[in-house]
Amino acid sequence: MANKTTMSKVMRCGQHEYGNHLRKGEEMVAAVKNSAYPDREVIMTEMNERCKECDEGTYNADYGFNSYAGPAYKYILQHLNLGVTGIQVWEAYDSRYHHPHRYLTWSMWGIFGVNDINHPDVYTKRTYYDVLQQL
């Protein structure tokens, strides 16, 4: 934010934050508000409840409301209450991706879950889909 040329091209500042944490969102909102560019927006470019081992092609033990979808919903609301203006949930659907520390791996965080990582041909909505519809 100290570079005028850069900030003349930036409209939104983004962060990632997972689980029941607000520190990055709070710090970014405060930094923008107290800067020479208080009109800029803060977005969470990735956020979600933590999904245990979901980066390893393993399904979470429970994608239900109490252990996954509900906490994520709460975190979204908490970030919006901070002044965050946009949120992208990681991730829309289970998918295979290249990660810097692993070759190709399956991410099983999806709002839509895949039936089989070896033969991915059917996706179904998880509880998360219905919960996010409320927002």
Q: Does 5 map to a domain?
A: no
State residue 11's pLDDT score: 96
Question: How much of the chain is helix, strand and coil, in % rounded to 5?
Answer: 30, 25, 40
Model pLDDT for residues 80-111, shown as the tens digit of each residue: 999 999 999 999 999 988 766 666 788 999 99
The 10s digit of each residue's pLDDT in 24-44 is 999 999 999 999 999 999 999
Q: Does residue 1 belong to any structural domain of this protein?
A: no
Query: What is the number of domains present in the chain?
Result: 1
On whether residue 3 sits in a domain, the answer given is no
Is 60 within a domain?
A: yes
| Domain annotation covers residue 99 | yes
| pTM attached to this predicted model | 0.86
